Amino acid sequence: MRRTKKERQQLLSETIVENPFVTDEQLATQFQVSVQTIRLDRMELAIPELRERIKDVASKTYENEVKSLPIDEVIGEIIDIELDQRALSIFDVKEEHVFQRNGIARGHHLFAQANSLAVAVINDELALTVHANITFVQPVHAGDRVITKATVVERDEVKQRTKIEVVSTVNGETVFAGEFDMYRTKG
């Protein structure tokens, strides 16, 4: 069913309020219009692009929750966190993150996303990586969206250590996995 521009824009605005993480491509499919039409609608409605919406939601939601580092020092955008339990972040790989000759993401960006998420999930003012055992499973390319999940698997109150498993995926396929042994000041 074709909608008027005004109806489409009203529904577009409501959809983005309900799900700020929806992509322009998903919206174009939902409303049966081009991605360019969605972008123009967003511009007219002063709705920022996805990346800015994610940053806005994350900074409002998690800014006062993350204790171990400033939220803007986390690599990627935190989209969910429960301190000392789990955390989730998104990192969009761009041209500046890849090797020019083959378009494969430089490993330090994937490690930085995983490591900073492992630090962020710690409910303490200070969290430091003591040891990391990591595996790069498959290449990541420019344009890929890396979704990283950190899960606290063990806490040792005496040694003031927390073990965190981190898995990064692209389109549901694991691309990076790691186990981080973190020091914390509080047991």
**pLDDT (0 to 100) of residue 50:** 74
Q: What is the pLDDT at residue 52?
A: 74
Annotation: CATH topology of 64-184: Thiol Ester Dehydrase; Chain A (3.10.129)
- pLDDT value for 126: 86
Under DSSP, the state recorded for 16 is H
Instruction: Cite the DSSP H helix spans in 19-154.
Output: 24-31, 35-45, 50-62, 107-120
CATH of 5-47, one of 2.60.40.10, 1.10.540.10, 1.10.1240.10, 1.10.10.10: 1.10.10.10
| pLDDT score of 18 | 79
Instruction: Output the CA angle 42-47-51, nearest 5 degrees.
Output: 105
Length, in residues, of the chain: 187
What per-residue confidence (pLDDT) applies to 69?
Answer: 60
Position 61 scores a pLDDT of 52
Q: What is the pLDDT of residue 23?
A: 84
pLDDT of residue 74: 79
What does the domain layout of the chain look like in residue ranges? 5-47, 64-184
The mean pLDDT values, 10 residues at a time, for the chain of 187 residues are 87 85 87 92 86 64 57 78 89 94 96 94 89 97 94 91 96 95 83
- With tokens 């006062």, the residue in question is 64
Structure confidence at residue 71 (pLDDT): 59
Q: Comparing 5-47 with 64-184, is the CATH topology the same?
A: no
Q: How far apart, in Å, are the Cα atoms of 69 and each of 49, 62, 75, 100? A: 26, 11, 11, 31
End-to-end C-alpha distance for the chain, whole angstroms: 59
